[in-house]
Amino acid sequence: MSLSENPTFVEDDEIRRNAARFSMQMLLLVCCAHCCNDLIQAVIPATLPLLKENYMLTFAEVGLITMVVQITASLLQPMVGWAADHRSFNQSLTVGMGVTFTGLIALSNAHSYEMILISVAFIGAGSAIFHPEAARRAQRFANGRPGLAQAVFQVGGNGGAAFGPLAAALILTQYGQDGIALFAAFAAVAMILLFYIGRMSLKVPAGLKSPTEKSASTTPLSSIFRGATGKLFLLLFVLMFSKMVFTSSLSSYLTFYVIEKFGVSVSVSQYVLFAFLAAAALGTVLGGPLTDKFGRRRIIFLSIVGAAPFALALPYVNFTGVIILTIIAAIIISSAFSAILVSALHAAPGRTGLVSGVFFGFAFGLGGVITGVLGVIADHIGIEAVFQYTTLMPLLGIVALALPKTINGRPL
């Protein structure tokens, strides 16, 4: 009797196929929810020129808006990640998206600067609740393929981040601030998806492989930020800092830069922002397989330092040159994020939620603080001068040469 005729073999094969099918279905749903979440987050920078004009804001006040949404996310994400590592509330993702929904409705109806800040704080809090737990949920559905799960999860966020400004250009130019409420539809769709994901998480089929990482209890919290691991985290933070100074200045002020220097319309500036974010999304996706092929240390170094020549030339080229150089620099420097995050996760096994929360939160927090500072500086020396200084930051990628080749006895 052949294996295909063996009832036990046929039954086991059917179980494996069902588990694989369930795994991919859940990953695609998480991917779609991530797309909706990050599309909403990307709408905030796209609304800044509109809010600046409507309320006659200074660059410092514009920067504070971004600072509030990103710092709110950065403060909450590590705590949410830590809590998720220990005990996860099954519908926490739905609740988090509900907070985002509330923030969008409030922002569309805001009639004062203070209300704008409160509204974007809700949106930042919703993102903070979403990212660590969604990353954990993707790994739970990985079915023994954590790399694939992370890639599917990341593609959703990258796609949403890229299309957010494009959607804003199409909607906000026609409906103005009231159009922000239309983006609440994406939050509503995500809530439905996340509620379903939460229910299906309780009905995991037989044959689905459990995550293979160590339990969080076997990785002491005190050991993560000291010794060799602490030194590695410090270096990764510096590298993330250099990346975020450059990318945050572009995501928040690129529209203002091309409007002021080249006299383009607000809608045209949104398409330029879309080109930048789409390139950044592509770079993040490419960073995963490139890291697997060439190694984390090499990709981190080449991606940040490699972007420097293109970044340094940005303030001195024409409008077409800005678009071309922005796309190239964004693709190169964005490929570093995956390598940085994987290096951190590799150094602290069993702490997926906490480490993801720290690094996602650190990225958001740095972006917020830097954007606020840059806004104050731009009010005094002009947006063009700010760009000249921020384009120097990719040179800090030289710090990657100090990254260790091994961590805790394992290759980095």
d(CA 186, CA 101): 9
**pLDDT score of 217:** 43
**pLDDT score of 5:** 55
Q: Kindly state the average pLDDT of the residues 244-250.
A: 83
Q: Kindly state the average pLDDT of the residues 239-267.
A: 87
Range of the domain at 266: 12-203+223-403
Average the pLDDT over each of 70-84, 131-145, 184-198, 393-407 and give the range with the smallest value.
70-84
Contact of 269 with 255, CB cutoff 8 Å:
yes
Going by pLDDT thresholds of 50, 70 and 90, the confidence category of residue 363 is low
Q: Kindly report the backbone phi and psi dihedral angles of residue 353, in degrees, each rounded to the nearest multiple of 5, phi listed first.
A: -65, -45
Indicate the Cα dihedral angle 41, 42, 44, 50, nearest 10°: -160
d(CA 126, CA 124): 5
Q: How far is CA 84 from CA 4, 105, 229, in A?
A: 42, 28, 22
Q: What is the DSSP letter of 314?
A: G
Beta bridge partners of 407: 410
**pLDDT score of 6:** 56
**pLDDT score of 123:** 93
Look at the block and give the residue holding tokens 């009639």.
111
Residue 214 falls inside a structural domain? no
Q: Is the model's pLDDT at 262 over the cut of 60?
A: yes
d(CA 128, CA 80): 7
Helix or strand or coil: residue 391? coil
**pLDDT score of 148:** 67
**For the chain, how many structural domains are there in total?**
1
The 10s digit of each residue's pLDDT in 89-134 is 668 889 999 999 999 999 999 999 999 999 999 998 998 888 878 8
Q: How far is CA 15 from CA 23, 294, 308, in A?
A: 12, 36, 51
Predicted TM-score (pTM) above 0.85: no
Structure tokens at 56: 């006659």
**pLDDT score of 91:** 81
Q: Is the model's pLDDT at 14 over the cut of 70?
A: yes
**pLDDT score of 87:** 64
More confident residue, 167 or 209: 167
Residue 212 falls inside a structural domain? no
Residue 324 region, left (φ>0) first, then alpha (ψ -120 to 50), else beta?
alpha
**pLDDT score of 242:** 86
d(CA 133, CA 131): 6
Going by pLDDT thresholds of 50, 70 and 90, the confidence category of residue 86 is low
Residue 66 falls inside a structural domain? yes
DSSP 44-98: HHHHHHHHHHHHT--HHHHHHHHHHHHHHHHHHHHHHHHHHHH---TTHHHHHHH
Q: Is the model's pLDDT at 9 over the cut of 50?
A: no
Going by pLDDT thresholds of 50, 70 and 90, the confidence category of residue 212 is very low
Average the pLDDT over each of 18-22, 97-101, 199-203, 366-370 and give the range with the smallest value.
366-370
Q: Kindly state the average pLDDT of the residues 164-185.
A: 87
Residue 369 falls inside a structural domain? yes
Contact of 82 with 353, CB cutoff 8 Å:
yes
Polymer length of the chain: 412
Residue 7 falls inside a structural domain? no
**pLDDT score of 120:** 93
Contact of 249 with 371, CB cutoff 8 Å:
yes
The 10s digit of each residue's pLDDT in 22-75 is 888 888 999 999 999 989 988 888 888 889 888 999 988 988 898 888 778 777
Q: Kindly report the backbone phi and psi dihedral angles of residue 33, in degrees, each rounded to the nearest multiple of 5, phi listed first.
A: -65, -40
Q: Is the model's pLDDT at 323 over the cut of 60?
A: yes
More confident residue, 77 or 384: 384
The CATH number assigned to the domain holding 277 equals 1.20.1250.20
Q: Kindly state the average pLDDT of the residues 291-315.
A: 89
Residue 410 falls inside a structural domain? no
More confident residue, 206 or 55: 55
Q: State percent of the chain over pLDDT 70.
A: 82
Average the pLDDT over each of 14-18, 191-195, 225-229, 407-411 and give the range with the smallest value.
407-411
Longest dimension (CA), the chain: 83
Structure tokens at 241: 């800092």
Residue 169 falls inside a structural domain? yes
d(CA 367, CA 188): 27
Going by pLDDT thresholds of 50, 70 and 90, the confidence category of residue 7 is low
Going by pLDDT thresholds of 50, 70 and 90, the confidence category of residue 371 is confident
Structure tokens at 384: 């063009």
Indicate the Cα dihedral angle 390, 245, 267, 50, nearest 10°: -110
Q: How far is CA 347 from CA 83, 219, 225, 352, in A?
A: 20, 10, 10, 11
More confident residue, 188 or 355: 188
DSSP 263-285: ---HHHHHHHHHHHHHHHHHHHH
Average pLDDT for the chain:
82
Residue 339 falls inside a structural domain? yes
Going by pLDDT thresholds of 50, 70 and 90, the confidence category of residue 84 is low
